[in-house]
Copies of this chain bind each other. A is one copy, B any other.
Amino acid sequence: MNKHICTLAVLSSLSFSALAVDCDPNLLPSWKDGTSKTEIIQFVSQSTDKSQNTFIAEKDRIAVFDNDGTLWSEKPYYFQLAFAFDQVKSMASTHPEWKTQEPFKSVLNNDIPGVFKGGEKALLDIFTATHSGITVDEYQNRVATWLEAAKDPRFSKAYTDLTYKPMREMLNYLQDNGFKTYIVSGGGVDFMRVWAPDVYNIPQEQIIGSALKYQYDYNDGNPTVTKLNEILSIDDKEVKVENIQHVIGKKPVLAVGNSDGDHAMMQWATSQPNSMAMIVHHTDKDREWQYDRKSSVGHLDKAMDEANKRKNWHLIDMKNEWCTVY
């Protein structure tokens, strides 16, 4: 996958570079020469150069990335929610009560604003109804089947084609330089593990996310693990740091996010020398979306203020620093 992506990246950037001379086909080809690209290259260089006192041993090169809005798009609403809405529809025949019961009624009527009126509780109700009471295997089969057919309404693309090419290149560049790349996302860990390993070259065991409690059953010699209707972890804000501590057990040297939900893990990572934080700033309403302080999804406010003050925190300006988005 890694090599394949690189080849594609080089090929597509070769044709693109005829138009945009500031995109180097050989190194991070989807990034324009500019501040963010320079910071990435400099950080990798200083971390891997044994002769410098900024050198980081390979075992400590832990980099954590948010997913929604950082590695793929998250508008008009989280893609996992689109999966959940579709699941409600396909499960509706066995839940006749949903015809009159919110938030399910709004989902079945394609009344998305109506769903959001119910706030966080409505979304949690939809998530647990569609994500629990089945084995992890069965759940992941459903996710895989859905991903094969579902299309994003704005771009008419498969959701996995809406991952950011520059960020995939950045992940691969870090991996090639001995960094262990992790996803630390508010998205469901079982959801991401279906497709993220292929798309980002990040194995299942380097994906941290929100989760329902699991239940093991011996099941007469055919053991199963079932997703229960009870929250184990909502991987957002300070919980991201707590889960990094629990699962990884060491402080990352690089944290990349796009919203205030990633603020704590960026503060945590950069509370040590030779560390860096980056924020994907959604500035491109034509090629992707434009939002920050006033958005409910991907709300970016306090973390942006801190980025503007701190030397090793960098905003990635999607519109002006990316040659290609997808």
Contacts and interface: CB of A to CB of B under 8 A. Distances in A.
Interface string A109-137: 00000000000000000000000000010
B216 A264 contact: yes
Contacts of A246: 189, 211, 214, 232
A67 to B, nearest CB: 15
A248 to B, nearest CB: 5
B193 A271 contact: no
Contact of A242 (B225, B239, B245): B225
A268 B215 contact: no
Contacts of A273: none
Contacts of A136: 245
Interface stretch (A19-27, A40-48, A169-177, A200-208): A200-208
B268 A216 contact: yes
Contacts of A241: 214, 216, 223, 225
Interface in A44-81: 59, 62
A96 interface: no
Given A136-B245, A211-B246, A214-B245, A221 B271 contact: yes
Interface in A225-258: 225, 232, 238-239, 241-242, 245-250
A193 to B, nearest CB: 5
Given A218-B264, A218-B267, A205 B248 contact: yes
Nearest to A214: B242
A101 interface: no
B193 A267 contact: no
Contacts of A207: 249
Given A136-B245, A204-B250, A223 B271 contact: yes
Nearest to A228: B242
A72 B239 CA distance: 33
A93 interface: no
A222 interface: yes
27 contacts: A59-B197, A180-B205, A189-B246, A204-B248, A205-B248, A207-B249, A211-B246, A213-B242, A214-B242, A214-B245, A215-B238, A215-B242, A216-B238, A216-B239, A216-B241, A216-B242, A216-B245, A216-B264, A216-B268, A218-B264, A222-B271, A223-B241, A223-B271, A225-B241, A225-B245, A225-B268, A232-B246
Interface of A: 59, 62, 136, 180, 189-190, 193, 197, 203-205, 207, 211, 213-216, 218, 221-223, 225, 232, 238-239, 241-242, 245-250, 264, 267-268, 271
